[in-house]
Amino acid sequence: MTNKIEEHKEEPSYVGQQINKPVQVENLLTGEIASIQPIFPLTEAQFIHLRAQASMTGIWATNLLFAVVGYALNLVPKFAALLKGGSSQFTSAETSVLLYGIIASLVLYGIGRFFPNERTKIMKRISKHFAEKTGQARYVVGR
């Protein structure tokens, strides 16, 4: 069995020289172009946990709104009687419950919107990071 040793040709160096003739270069573009971007120190599991987390005020507002809608569904027969030309059978307490329930729900949504929780702050930091530290295309030499 014979071991073949490939001959290694010395490539001429053109550093600091003015080239006046064509130069043939092999395998010049044997690589890939990659986008390199500074990382945000966050694991995928942490990101999924953050993305899935809802604000507590949003949850409370939604629950309250559903309770008000459920209460309003109980009042549909009274509303139907009013539409048929009958007199209003709504009590002031029923109207107050509907009105204050909707107002309270809107206030809770507003609190969640204008007073961000920790999750919202972190998501804004992540967005800011990727907006400011855009990737740069680099040529990566192939193997």
| pLDDT tens-digit map of 26-60 | 766 666 666 667 777 777 777 777 777 777 888 89
Q: Model's pTM, two decimal places?
A: 0.53
Tokens of 32: 């890939």
Burial status of residue 47 (CB atoms within 10 A of its CB: 0-12, 13-18, 19 or more): middle
Query: What backbone phi and psi angles, to 5 degrees, belong to 136?
Result: -125, 135
The 10s digit of each residue's pLDDT in 110-139 is 998 888 777 778 888 888 877 787 766 666
